[in-house]
Structure 1
Amino acid sequence: MPAPSAPSRPVSLFRLDGRAAEHELLVPLRPEQITTDTPVDLSGTRARLVAGAFRTEAPHWLPHAEALTGTALGLSATLPFAVLLVPRPPWLYAVTWGAGHLVLNDEHVEQGFGLRFGIRRLDPFDLGLVASAALDVSARATQISIPGGGELSAFRLEPYGDLVHRIAGSADLRDLTYGRVTGRRHRIRVGTSLWAPLAQEPGALLADLDAVGAVVDEPDEDSALRFVAQTRPLDRHHPIVPELERRLAAALAGDGEPVGIAWPATGGQDAENAGSFRITGLGPGGPLHVPGRLEAEHLTARLSGLPAERRLKALRAGRITPCADETGAEPDGAPSPATRWLAYETTIEHTRYVFHQGRWYRIGETYVAQMREQVRDLLAQRQHWPEVTWKPSGEPDDEHRYCRLVAEQPGYLCLDRDVASTPLHPRFELCDLLGPEDELIHVKWLGRATAASHLYTQALVSAEALHDEPQAMAQLAAKVSTVDPGRVLGGAPDTVVLAAAGRSWQVDELFTLSQVALLRLDRAVRGLRATLKFADIPYLAKKKTTARSARRIPAQRRGDTRR
């Protein structure tokens, strides 16, 4: 029990939409789960207290553990919870204890509320934990802890494209009862919620809630952590979401900004190596089988025939499964929502919005401008390219045919389709072409602004393997000597070239998420003591395919470039 004189106790604080009906704020609870549901008076403010417990039966894995050990295990459990709902218009605050966070209806919880407080009050030189996810096709999740605390730079956040969703560290709480009474800092945790000491006396608690709201509404120009707020997921009830969804629905029929394919976070490797894809639940017409490379047209061709108001519902109901074979008979991964396979961008009043991994994100104007400037400088690093034109044939081996043509030029070797294997990377391509000065060249037809992400992944895996694993370097040397017996590598290649046809390496032709991933790739390549360069391949344009013809023409006859 806390000492009676303790002014505050740490609790989890959430902020909810104050316009929502009270009965919608909590998830449905059974009568037997609730022990208390009563109005309470907090110094003249009507609040609501809900308390009870979740009771769980034996876990599903219990029979396995009992069978292995021969021991009976009684492991049913009770999770107590309490939630205090306090209106402070235009918001409603939820103070939670125990499993109280599980009672809140996420539809009405303000996302990133705690982060906004932390940006303004955390000490950037005394952080203990930073959890983030990459806002790119990988959606890589990272959590770094420094028990003794460290400054922001120690957590190796990317300057662009890292979506920070949780931070812990020492904070200045001078605005709260705790800070005024004790004069001390406190280690808090911030994310969607704020975990911090709040007053135990009703009147002081109300003052603390108002103080928290005032801090969240402060300008953040002087905060070293302000970049955290430059890219944020949008709340599903944000007033701009209907307009964003209207634009996305139009784009699914070919109107407005184009949509593109982006691998889902949990299935990128399966998708990259897939021989075909199986699509189910995507509107009327039954399952779809897509041999070869999955393109956005495979989804939009089906969705464009639906009324605009039904397209997003059909997209969210769709499921995509990568398959190991070209017939779609051997699933090579779990089905995942079709929304996680599409990427889309649009601009409203100078702010860029991105639909990625099934969610909407807001990207600030300053963030985009700074990123574009860095990408423009990076793309100036050019590699000379021979005058060999890529003439699309519409065949599955289009890319390989082009690489063989380039290999007829002095100094170029074709290693496309020559797969390497190491303990850390069981199956990957070292490069598509080896250049005259032993440059690692990766070739791709970039039909869409989002397609570059696959090229980045191939380049990064190769560079990492050759830098970190002696087996990779040995295999590269063996492959080179097989193709050109008189050629000897002069050491590990230190130049990585991205060569593209279908579009040029210009910042205006790259999807925002592709720009994010490109800056991330450059940083990784430089960390491997190599240089990233770019080449524009001369090419003839592919014949355009209409949405109607996309329904009847097999994928392998539509310029698919899968190796």
Structure 2
Amino acid sequence: MTLEASRTVPRPPTAKKAPTTRKSSLHRLRAKGSDRGEDLSAFVLPRYLDREGFTSRPVNKDGLVGLLVTGTIAPGRADWCDPLSILTGQPVAEENRTSLALFLVRTENSVYGITYGMGHLMIDPVRIDPGFGIEFAVRCLKEDRITKVRRQVMDARGRTDENSATSGEHIRGFGIEQFGEIVSQISGQIENVPLTFTTGNKRPAHVTGNDRSIKIHLGNSPAALLHDLQEIEEVCARPNPLPEFEFIAQVRPLGPKSEQAQKLDVRLDAMLGEGQTSRMALAVPSVCREHFEFAESFKVTLAGHAGQHAELDVDQLVAAVQRRPEGGRLRALREGRIQMFSSTDDSEANSGKVPVDHWFTAEVPDGVAHYFYWQGKWYEIGAEYLTVVEQRVADLLAQPASVTMPPWTIEMCETGERCGVPQGHKRHNVHDEDWYNKEVAAQDRYVLLDKNNVHTERLRGGGLEIADALGPQGQFICVKKAASSTAPLNHLFAQGRTGIETVRFDLQARKDFLSKVDKLSPRHALDRSFSSPTLVFGILLKNGAELTPDSLFAFAKISLLHTATALEGMGARLEVVSISRTAETGMARATTG
């Protein structure tokens, strides 16, 4: 056998198999009215259809009907070239280039936009269905394979949280509250959806659903893409979310330029003109939450006027825009600005200038659904969600309490007489909280704790007020005059929850607290183990209104339920007391949960 005969002939390289799918962002778009045959170019912002370097082409291939829009934005030298040249002494001349592609696809049921690069910028935002991503995800995600959750707390705290689990965990592990938390993004593994990606593929499919789109592997051929869109439509057509995710679908944001949001803007503008503040309140924006407690004054620039204020009040904001022309009241709130200061004047700013409407919340009922304006956006709350919230709050307000709360009366006139306080009579005011706390503590076996702070190393010397008063059986009593703002109630709920957590879990704080109680009231009937403490919220609403599910503002209800859930987890009992303003009613009606 010769050397040549034994030589192995090399095989030609195997061609790399083209991928059958690609992870893409999919938007569901809404037609105007009932026109299902609307020109697809109407879903694209006109400036991209007419822009130099952009092209739009109709598509009709193997049953796939749509419109393809592509282009590249090249604005010239990057803005960092000059400073980098100066810094290094070397010439730098690089260019930014941004590519955009949008493929609009029409099916029998809907129009979809598949985006590549920055292609989502070309979609008219009014046309995007904001509920699509979450609607799909909560109908097919595996509850024990969730990888990421982004959520916002829908109360005056304005907090946004994002939690991830690389390998996935159960939805319950993310600690989502079932009341008042808006899930704006959720990611995880899906099941029972026969997509092209899962055909003959041992790897599970994943999806990220948010309030604008879903990110998922879609087929690369016309037939495969149409198949995947059909499977996605079948998932969305399922009548209900999976049980573990049902509460998520009850709250959804509305697109700011959507038809429903614009109708709600008109209704809210009319409410502002009528001065209807019963369903309005203040809420601290997310960007101001950290420094809000240190604010000594607020500069309000609104409707052409600027002023420094020691406190904010929703009536003050509404009055500033109430007499403006129809359609201009809500716009004035959006154009106005509020800035916080650590000083009583404008010498020490501790926040930026935040739009006034971000401090403003409102509730607008509309048939079976309710809508909330919160931090400049509209949210729709489903009827079932509201029913559960109302019932739980009603349960908290249905039982007798274990403490007596005296009436919170009107202070004396200059003549020394108590009278019937006519509307607008500025010389007659409700006594302040300092006065009321002393009234509570004047009762037999009650103890005044107001301003008697506990100091520990963990509290970094600042101290903490555990409660305003101690009840005869060791009840922790926290008091608040709520007036017309949600913020004081959120502060009340946070104070009570933090106080219980501190005496239960901080040994040094517990010792300091017990030492103070022993000095004030030796042999007080206080359970020193704090294994099942009782927390009492005493609340005086505006005009002495009775505490009911209807008289509590919606976001206050949500904060109350959050607090009740946290206290229940600590073995604590919560009581809520509605305080009367007049002595004629005798003891205030007390409620508990």
Query: TM-score, normalised to structure 1's length?
Result: 0.83
Shift of 1:474: 4.6
CA-CA distance at 1:169 after TM superposition: 1.4
CA distance in 1, matches of 2:20, 2:351: 53
The alignment status of 1:504 with 2:538, answered yes or no, reads no
Partner of 1:299: 317
- Secondary structure at the counterpart of residue 450 of structure 2: coil
Instruction: Give the aligned partner of residue 147 of structure 2.
Output: 128
The separation in 1 between residues aligned to 2:80 and 2:504, in whole angstroms, is 44
Which of 196, 200, 203 is the aligned partner of 1:177?
Answer: 196
Instruction: Show the counterpart of 1:202.
Output: 222
Mapped to 1, the partners of 2:100 and 2:477 lie a distance apart of 58
Distance 1:53 1:210, change over 3 A: farther
Q: CA deviation at 1:105?
A: 4.5
1:149 alignment partner, one of 157, 161, 168: 168
Percent sequence identity over aligned pairs: 27
**1:261 is aligned to 2:279:** no
8 Å CA contact retained: 2:140, 2:242: no
Q: Would the alpha carbon gap of residues 224 and 528 (structure 1) be closer, same or farther in structure 2, given more than 3 Å must change?
A: closer
8 Å Cα contact 1:257/1:345 also seen in 2: no
**Bigger CA drift: 306-315 or 509-518?**
509-518
Aligned equivalents of 1:461, 1:332: Cα separation in 2 = 25
Instruction: Name the stretch that deviates more: 384-393 or 271-280.
Output: 384-393
- 156-165 vs 102-111, which moves further: 102-111
Give the Cα separation in 1 of the matches to 2:168 and 2:529: 38
CA distance, structure 1, for counterparts of residue 509 and residue 81 of structure 2 = 41
Question: Structure 1: how far apart are the matches of 2:157 and 2:46?
Answer: 32
User: 1:313 aligns to what?
Assistant: 331
**Partner of 2:5 in structure 1?**
none
Residue deviations 1:505-553 (CA, integer Å, cap 9, x gap):
3223222222211111011122333222122323239xxxxxxxxxxxx
Amino acid at match of 2:131: G
Aligned positions of 1:505-524 closer than 5 A:
505-524=547-566
Q: Does 1:350 align with 2:368?
A: yes
Deviations 1:194-221 (A, max 9, x none): 1111111124323433442343233125
Cα contact 1:477–1:488 (8 A) shared by 2 = no
Tell me the alpha carbon deviations over residues 98-125 of structure 1, each in whole angstroms, 9 at most, x when there is no partner.
3334554534322131211112221223
How far has the Cα of 1:407 moved from its partner?
2.0
How does 1:80-479 map onto structure 2 within 5 Å? 80-88=99-107, 91-172=110-191, 174-180=193-199, 182=201, 185-191=204-210, 192-220=212-240, 223-252=243-272, 253-255=274-276, 257-280=278-301, 282-284=302-304, 286-292=305-311, 294-380=312-398, 382-386=400-404, 388-393=406-411, 398-419=432-453, 423=458, 426=462, 428-448=464-484, 450=486, 451-477=488-514, 479=516
CA distance in 1, matches of 2:93, 2:275: 58
Return the letter of the residue paired with 1:265: S
Letter in 2 for 1:303: V
Query: Quick check: 1:37–1:51 contact (8 Å CA) kept in 2?
Result: no
Q: 1:446 aligns to what SS in structure 2?
A: strand
What number of residue pairs does the alignment pair up? 537
Counterpart of 1:525 in structure 2 is 567
Distance 1:134 1:278 in 2: 26
Question: For the residues of structure 2 that align with 1:30 and 1:448, how far apart are their CA atoms?
Answer: 49
Show CA shifts across 1:486-522 (max 9, x none).
Answer: 8797536522210112343322322222221111101
Distance 1:70 1:227 in 2: 59
Please, which moves more after superposition, 48-57 or 104-113?
48-57
Shift of 1:479: 4.6
Secondary structure in 2 matching 1:429: coil
**Change in 2 beyond 3 A, CA 1:89/1:321:** farther
| Aligned CA distance change for structure 1 residues 298 and 428 (closer, same or farther; 3 Å) | farther
State whether residues 116 and 216 of structure 1, in contact with CA within 8 Å, keep that contact through their aligned partners in structure 2.
Answer: yes
Aligned position for 1:47:
67
- SS of the residue aligned with 1:309? coil
Q: Deviations over 1:330-359 (max 9, x none)?
A: 322222111121121122112111111211
Closer/same/farther in 2, CA of residues 201 and 278 from structure 1, 3 Å limit: same
Q: What is the aligned partner in structure 2 of residue 556 from structure 1?
A: none
Q: Is the 8 A contact 2:22 2:217 kept in 1?
A: yes
After TM superposition, give the deviation of residue 462 of structure 1 in Å.
Answer: 2.7
Q: Evaluate the alpha carbon distance shift between residue 326 and residue 489 of structure 1 in structure 2; reply closer, same or farther with a 3 A threshold.
A: farther
Q: Which moved more, 1:229-238 or 1:2-11?
A: 2-11
Using the TM superposition, give the Cα deviation of residue 236 of structure 1 relative to its aligned residue in structure 2, in angstroms.
2.7
Q: Using a 3 Å threshold, how does the CA distance of structure 1 residues 148 and 46 change in structure 2: closer, same or farther?
A: closer
Letter aligned with residue 559 of structure 2: A
Alignment partners' CA distance in 1, 2:498 and 2:91? 48
What is the DSSP-based 3-state SS (H/G/I as helix, E as strand, rest coil) of the residue aligned with 2:349?
Answer: coil
| Contact 1:413–1:434, Cα closer than 8 Å, also in 2 | yes
Distance apart, 1:279 and its partner CA: 0.6
* Alpha-carbon offset, residue 159 of structure 1: 1.8
User: Which has the higher mean CA deviation after the structures are superposed, 415-424 or 224-233?
Assistant: 415-424
Structure 2 Cα separation of the partners of residues 263 and 115 of structure 1: 27
The CA deviation at 1:390 is 1.2
Amino acid at match of 1:408: A
RMSD: 3.7
- Alignment pair present for 1:8 and 2:8: no
Residues 480 and 488, structure 1, Cα contact 8 Å, conserved in 2: no
Looking at structure 1, the residues matched to 135 and 103 of structure 2 have their Cα atoms a distance apart, in angstroms, of 22
| Alpha-carbon spacing, 1:97–1:540, altered in 2? closer, same or farther (3 Å) | same
User: Aligned equivalents of 2:107 and 2:168: distance in 1?
Assistant: 34
Structure showing greater radius of gyration is 2
Alpha carbons of structure 1 residues 309 and 234: separation in structure 2 relative to 1, 3 Å: same
Distance 2:559 2:78 in 1: 45
The answer as to 2:573 corresponding to 1:539 is no
| 2:408–2:431 contact (8 Å) kept in structure 1 | no
**Contact 2:197–2:218 (CA<8 Å) still a contact in 1?**
yes
Post-superposition shift, 1:398? Answer: 0.7
Structure 1 residues 386 and 81: alpha-carbon distance in aligned structure 2, compared to 1, 3 A threshold? same
Q: C-alpha deviations, 1:242-269, integer Å up to 9, x for none?
A: 4422331232232485311122122234
**TM-score normalised according to structure 2 size:** 0.79
Distance 1:32 1:354 in 2: 38
Indicate the SS of the match to 1:146.
strand
Pair 1:477–1:32, CA change in 2 (3 A):
farther
